[in-house]
Amino acid sequence: MSRPRKRPEVALPPGCDPASILLTFPVAPEHAGQRLDRFIQHRIPRLSRTRAQEVVKNCAYRADGSRRRASDRVRAGETVILVRPSFEEPHVPLYFDVLFEDAAILALDKPAGLPVHPSATYHKNTLTYLLRQKYGPEAPQIAHRLDRETSGLLLCGKTRESERSLKIDFENRRVSKRYLAIVRGVMPDDSGRIELPMDRAKEGLHILMEVTPEGEGYPSVTRYLVLARRDDATLVALAPESGRQHQLRVHLAALGYPIIGDKLYGPEGVQTFLDYIDTGMTDALRHRLGHDRQALHAFELHFTHPSTGEPTTLRAPLSEDLVTLWGEPLSESTFASVGAC
């Protein structure tokens, strides 16, 4: 297998707000000589010529920090840089529910919308900050990651020893994870295994991942088990065997069944994410997405307790907004087979 491709490192241009959002677009030989606004229009879906010119005027920079013009011609091999301005720290749900706690570990149910760690956009409105407020300077330390829009189960270590043990087990894939997702369309197979390599996307948002050709990227495997079907959607359990960023979202989208509400990997690609950055959640955008957030929930963790050494399984019930989104009764028996995924 060839080495995974490396995306060119591009720094934020001098003078830009460090909290800004950076987008990069390498110029392929076939696009050399195009006007910059035409190039941007080609690279960002559903962008009008007028809007592309506005994007260039407000967001296009050279690496030295100087601004670019719509009439500039792009060159093969260069990287077009767009810098989107930061915005005020948004309001998020500032709570969490404790599912289990003893002297060594804390298991909590994170609501959708609450970021786990501080970032350019969030500081106080994070789970890390809430834990410090509740437990003080010796607050439990989060042992793994969960996307902001994903709800569900998170595990923390309450001592240095338990934190270290949990993190090592997560890093070495000794913790079994099960997620629940509501996807667009009716998945025909009751179960299956998705084996599609992944890597950072070659262009666009730095956070974007994509499926790569065979022999490139990083091996990525997801098992799935269908739990229920509707006329236009499927409730599915997911078990990642690898831990790539956005793996479940990318794999399901690659199969043709994107997670409802996914702003990056839904039917319109990144355009819904960019529109969300510009306008926030509107009724029109909610209608396009199908839900306010990606319909993904961290449901179950099976791990070795760091103090007792006992096999331990914990679950976080499906969040109320996803129960409502599904719109049909879900009984305990619906989730009985999740562990078999």
The C-alpha atoms of residue 244 and residue 147 are separated, in whole angstroms, by 12
Q: Please, which residues bridge with residue 117 across strands?
A: none
The C-alpha atoms of residue 94 and residue 126 are separated, in whole angstroms, by 8
Structure tokens at 261: 């509400």
Q: Which of 37, 109, 147, 199 is catalytic?
A: 147
Given a contact cutoff of 8 angstroms between Cβ atoms, the answer to whether 62 and 69 are in contact is no
CA nearest neighbour of 108 among 78, 85, 89, 134: 134
Given a contact cutoff of 8 angstroms between Cβ atoms, the answer to whether 157 and 143 are in contact is yes
Give 223-247 as a DSSP string: EEEEEEE-SSEEEEEEEESS--TTH
CA-angle at 333, arms to 332 and 334, nearest 5°: 90
Given a contact cutoff of 8 angstroms between Cβ atoms, the answer to whether 303 and 312 are in contact is yes
Report residue 192: phi and psi, to 5°. Answer: 180, 180
Structure tokens at 152: 């569900």
- Is 147 a catalytic site residue? yes
The C-alpha atoms of residue 90 and residue 81 are separated, in whole angstroms, by 25
Given a contact cutoff of 8 angstroms between Cβ atoms, the answer to whether 155 and 303 are in contact is yes
Q: Provide the annotated active-site residues.
A: 147
